[in-house]
């Protein structure tokens, strides 16, 4: 439900409101509000809408995708539409050249509104500006979407507020988000844009999600393994085997996470459609559901807009009832194999405007042996299109070119059977514009992503409460450094604006001379047990020498902390990671772990400044059997940990654990 209480804006939100107030009477038509995930960009709509009404503008909520528009409706109430729905109206249907060619539906831009509008466009980084292509079945206007939007604003004497995060993945086929590319806007005739920025994170400021997102954008880790090595509130390592005995993927999910996925409170973000399909199978298998057809309670997401059926890409449905599947066959022909399309009728709840309606529709479930409910397969859907059009011709005896063809095609429900997948997993591009309490980030295939830092930032910032990282490499003990390795290590960690002048081996260390172009400073860094251990500054004190000593000392201390964590990895990793995943929803951080032998592991827990140490006892098979408090005062953490342990069937043992 939309929020109703007034919320005091943060200082940067107040500054953005003031900038908008100054902007509105001016000549510039675009006000651009940028900020990272959780900075409260969308929350400014009520204040901006009130100011716009005072200036005689009619505020309208828009978004590039159905998912983002639905989130606006949930936050501020209806109406909120996609840009396409607000800007365009039906124009004509262009028949294909033959029986197998798809008709093209053309939409023209509406005339400008009678009353100037304030178009508040959320998730503006998703606005593409690619002109319609020859293979597009839905053709909106004559130019790209951003170009058409700006033309509408000029014609209607309206104002445009572009709200978004330019650090997220750009639209498919674009190098940068066009709405945040000043050079692109200038080419479109928009030379004067008023900018405001939000920097304070409100959504997950007390968790590690914001810290991880910022790190991915600024100082990317050398490997994702480093992320898994550094415990942080809200970041959970989710392990599982890649393949089972039968060759099928088997990534078990905690039951509570499966239920969250079913309720729509969580999602899995993947690199590819294939991995999204895999996770949809994992979730439904974990829920004990058949893989062939949906059942009541399943959640589905529309993957292809259909103007005739009235659905937009990103719309979500909850299955209420399922009918008997039916098959549409296409006979074999010259050089053509037989094809069978499976259609499944369902009743489903879907949000329309601010209301929830129950609709009856048919879904495309499969073609031949290709399952289409678990993953997007565009090639397979093109084959479906051909089969359903040929079937329409056979049923009606109306062909392309006949006067009745376009009306027959437009009104036939079978041709417009809905294209959906299960909504439990989606690619990172499809996740944009959405927020969930828990997000599982599957890193399988991350090495194929052209911008892995941007991909990772976009994926983890979808979460409000916890990120569960799957596919992290196993941590291994670092090999011991040589003196040559140490010289390279030091070179990578110099202060900004400095460079190495020369290095020289010195016993179990290395002497490094550094310059900033004007001055020279020298330090010695020593090795101990194969790791950097001590930094000694040499020569007279100077700002360069002090900065160099401070930077390298901080780097050595960070390396020592990382090495200690790795040495203290418990023997019972699976037990610890299961506990960590169950504690994360309670905002409990597993701060550190220490192995106390083959049958005992000590956990260091933290919550909002409270700390508690707990020992977990395991049997000879590695199964947890009991837990004990370490000497110290009891905190509310004990109750949370006890409840989580009860879920696992682990009892509290007598007494307390002591140092061993």
Please report which confidence band the pLDDT of residue 658 belongs to, taking 50, 70 and 90 as the band edges.
Answer: very low
Q: What are phi and psi for residue 502, nearest 5 degrees?
A: -165, 160
* Whether pLDDT at 215 is above 80: no
Least confident of 199-203, 316-320, 378-382, 647-651: 199-203
* Whether pLDDT at 590 is above 90: no
Same domain, 558 and 608: no
* Whether pLDDT at 243 is above 50: no
Percent of the chain residues topping a pLDDT of 70: 84
DSSP conformation letters of 137-162 = SEEESSS-HHHHHHHHHHHHT-EEEE
* Whether pLDDT at 220 is above 60: no
Same domain, 268 and 170: no
* Whether pLDDT at 302 is above 50: yes
Query: Is residue 532 classed as helix, strand or coil in its secondary structure?
Result: strand
Same domain, 558 and 581: no
* Whether pLDDT at 486 is above 60: yes
Same domain, 519 and 637: no
- Tens-place pLDDT, residues 598-614: 677 888 888 877 888 88
List, in sequence order, every residue forming a beta bridge with 589; answer none if it has no partner: 606
Same domain, 127 and 185: yes
* Whether pLDDT at 359 is above 80: yes
Structure tokens at 88: 């365009």
Alpha-carbon span 266 to 61, nearest angstrom: 25
Q: What is the mean pLDDT of the chain?
A: 82
- Tens-place pLDDT, residues 44-61: 888 888 998 888 888 999
* Whether pLDDT at 372 is above 70: yes
Same domain, 270 and 398: yes
DSSP conformation letters of 389-421 = HHHHHHHH---TTSTTHHHHHHH-TTTTPBPEE
List, in sequence order, every residue forming a beta bridge with 506; answer none if it has no partner: 509
What pLDDT score does 327 carry? Answer: 94
* Whether pLDDT at 245 is above 50: no
Same domain, 306 and 415: yes
Please report which confidence band the pLDDT of residue 375 belongs to, taking 50, 70 and 90 as the band edges.
Answer: confident
What pLDDT score does 655 carry? Answer: 46
What pLDDT score does 583 carry? Answer: 84
What pLDDT score does 441 carry? Answer: 92
Same domain, 343 and 361: yes
233 belongs to a structural domain = no
Please report which confidence band the pLDDT of residue 395 belongs to, taking 50, 70 and 90 as the band edges.
Answer: very high
Boundary residue ending a domain (512, 538, 567)? 567
CATH value at residue 163: 3.40.50.300
CA distances from 448 to 170, 445, 457, 581 (A): 17, 6, 16, 28
Cβ(316)–Cβ(350) under 8 Å?
Answer: yes
* Whether pLDDT at 202 is above 80: no
Structure tokens at 561: 């902390």
Q: What is the dihedral of CA 213, 218, 220, 226, to 10 degrees?
A: -60
228 class by beta-carbon count within 10 Å (0-12 exposed, 13-18 middle, 19+ buried): buried
- Tens-place pLDDT, residues 328-341: 998 776 666 788 99
pTM over 0.85: no
Boundary residue ending a domain (527, 546, 567)? 567
Domain count, the chain: 4
Same domain, 583 and 544: no
Q: How far apart are the first and last CA of the chain?
A: 53
The boundaries of the domain holding residue 166 are 11-198
577 belongs to a structural domain = yes
Alpha-carbon span 58 to 117, nearest angstrom: 4
Least confident of 91-105, 231-245, 454-468, 640-654: 231-245
Same domain, 262 and 378: yes
Least confident of 101-110, 245-254, 568-577: 245-254
Mean pLDDT of 185-206: 80
């Amino acid at each position: 439900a939309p929020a109703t209480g007034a919320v005091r804006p943060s200082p940067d939100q107040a500054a953005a409101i003031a900038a908008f107030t100054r902007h509105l009477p001016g000549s510039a038509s675009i006000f651009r509000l940028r900020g990272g995930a959780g900075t409260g960009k969308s929350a400014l709509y009520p204040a901006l809408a009130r100011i716009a009404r005072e200036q005689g503008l009619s505020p309208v909520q828009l978004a590039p995708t159905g998912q983002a528009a639905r989130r606006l409706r949930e936050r501020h109430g209806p109406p909120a539409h996609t840009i396409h729905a607000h800007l365009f109206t039906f124009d004509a249907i262009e028949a294909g050249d033959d029986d197998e060619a798809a008709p093209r539906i053309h939409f023209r831009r509406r005339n400008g509104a009678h009353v100037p509008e304030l178009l508040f466009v959320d998730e503006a980084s998703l606005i593409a500006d690619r002109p319609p292509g020859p293979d597009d079945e839905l053709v909106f206007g004559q130019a790209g979407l951003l170009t058409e939007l700006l033309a509408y604003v000029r014609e209607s004497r309206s104002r445009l507020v572009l709200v978004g995060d330019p650090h997220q993945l750009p639209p498919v086929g674009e190098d940068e988000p066009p709405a945040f590319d000043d050079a692109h806007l200038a080419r479109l005739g928009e030379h004067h844009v008023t900018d405001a920025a939000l920097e304070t994170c409100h959504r997950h400021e007390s968790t590690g999600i914001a810290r991880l997102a910022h790190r991915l954008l600024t100082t990317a880790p050398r490997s994702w393994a480093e992320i898994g090595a550094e415990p942080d509130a809200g970041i959970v390592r989710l392990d599982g085997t890649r393949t089972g005995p039968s060759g099928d993927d088997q990534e078990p999910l905690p039951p509570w996470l499966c239920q969250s996925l079913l309720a729509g409170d969580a999602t899995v973000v993947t690199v590819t459609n294939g991995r999204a399909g895999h996770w949809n199978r994992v979730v439904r298998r974990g829920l004990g559901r058949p893989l062939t057809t949906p059942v009541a309670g399943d959640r589905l997401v529309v993957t292809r807009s259909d103007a005739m059926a009235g659905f937009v890409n990103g719309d979500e449905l909850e299955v209420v009832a399922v009918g008997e599947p039916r098959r549409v066959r296409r006979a074999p022909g010259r050089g053509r194999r037989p094809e069978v399309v499976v259609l499944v009728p369902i009743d489903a709840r879907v949000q329309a405007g601010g209301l929830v309606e129950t609709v009856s529709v048919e879904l495309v479930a499969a073609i031949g042996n290709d399952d289409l409910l678990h993953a997007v397969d565009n090639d397979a859907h093109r084959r479906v299109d051909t089969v359903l059009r040929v079937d329409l011709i056979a049923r009606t005896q109306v062909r392309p070119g006949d006067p009745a063809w376009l009306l027959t095609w437009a009104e036939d429900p079978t041709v417009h059977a809905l294209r959906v997948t299960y909504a439990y997993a989606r690619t990172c591009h499809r996740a944009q514009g959405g927020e969930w309490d828990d997000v599982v980030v599957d890193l399988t295939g991350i090495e194929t992503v052209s911008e892995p830092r941007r991909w990772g930032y976009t994926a983890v910032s979808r979460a409000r409460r916890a990120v569960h990282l799957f596919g992290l490499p196993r941590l291994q003990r670092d090999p011991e450094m040589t003196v040559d390795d140490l010289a390279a290590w030091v070179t990578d960690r110099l202060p900004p604006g400095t460079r190495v002048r020369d290095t020289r081996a010195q016993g179990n260390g290395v002497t490094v001379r550094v310059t900033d172009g004007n001055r020279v400073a020298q330090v010695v860094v020593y090795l101990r047990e194969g790791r950097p251990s001590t930094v000694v500054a040499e020569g007279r004190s100077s700002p360069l020498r002090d900065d160099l000593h401070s930077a390298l000392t901080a780097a050595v201390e960070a390396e020592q902390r990382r090495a200690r964590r790795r040495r203290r990895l418990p023997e019972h990793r699976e037990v610890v990671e299961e506990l960590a995943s169950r504690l994360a929803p309670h905002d409990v951080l597993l701060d550190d772990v220490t192995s106390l032998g083959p049958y005992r592991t000590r956990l260091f827990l933290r919550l909002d400044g409270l700390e508690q140490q707990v020992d977990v006892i395991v049997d000879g098979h590695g199964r947890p059997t009991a837990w004990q408090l370490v000497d110290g005062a009891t905190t509310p953490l004990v109750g949370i940990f006890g409840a989580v342990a009860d879920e696992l069937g682990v009892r509290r043992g007598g007494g307390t654990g002591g140092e061993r």
